[in-house]
Amino acid sequence: MSNTDRPDERPAPAPNAVTTPDEVTIRRAPKFGVFIVGGALLGFVATLVVVSLTMNIDRGDQQETASFGSLVGYFSLWGVTIGAFLGAVVAVVLDRVFARRAARLTAERVEVELPPETVEGEIEDHGDRTR
């Protein structure tokens, strides 16, 4: 158990420390970049699956002039874009949900004034410099 669990046994602040209470909000927040990149990767994987499943469909008298790589390249533009957009939407929805569950707490801010630095045996300047 740490000292923060038992407020009665808090250590006394330093003699020249000033404590002030502050209201803080604690909540979880999603990393938008991770959701956007993850959505884009899922969109690319979905594009690979759809193109490979529809590659061998009989299209009648049409000649097959497009290769698998060119089809994946073209349709991945759509798949990656839609996936990134859906990832961003999921991140925004999670951010709203986590904002509702936020907790407001009181925290103590401690400002400590440090004594001026002095070095033992330091020579003080009295304005009588010689040139």
The pLDDT tens digits of the residues spanning 62-113 come to 666 678 888 899 999 999 999 999 999 999 999 999 988 888 888 888 888 7
- The torsion angles phi and psi of 18, rounded to 5 degrees, stand at -115, 125
Residue 12 in this model has a pLDDT that exceeds 60:
no
Reported as a single tens digit per residue, the pLDDT across 18-67 is: 788 888 888 888 999 999 999 999 999 999 999 989 887 766 666 666 78
Q: Can you tell me the distance from the alpha carbon of 129 to that of 131, in angstroms, rounded to the nearest whole number?
A: 6
pLDDT at residue number 50? 93
Domain boundaries, the chain: 22-55+68-112
pLDDT tens readout for residues 77-88:
999 999 999 999
Say what the pLDDT of residue 1 is.
45
Global model pTM greater than 0.75: no
DSSP state of 127: S
For residue 109, give both structure tokens: 């801010």
Handedness of CA 119, 120, 125, 126 (dihedral sign): positive
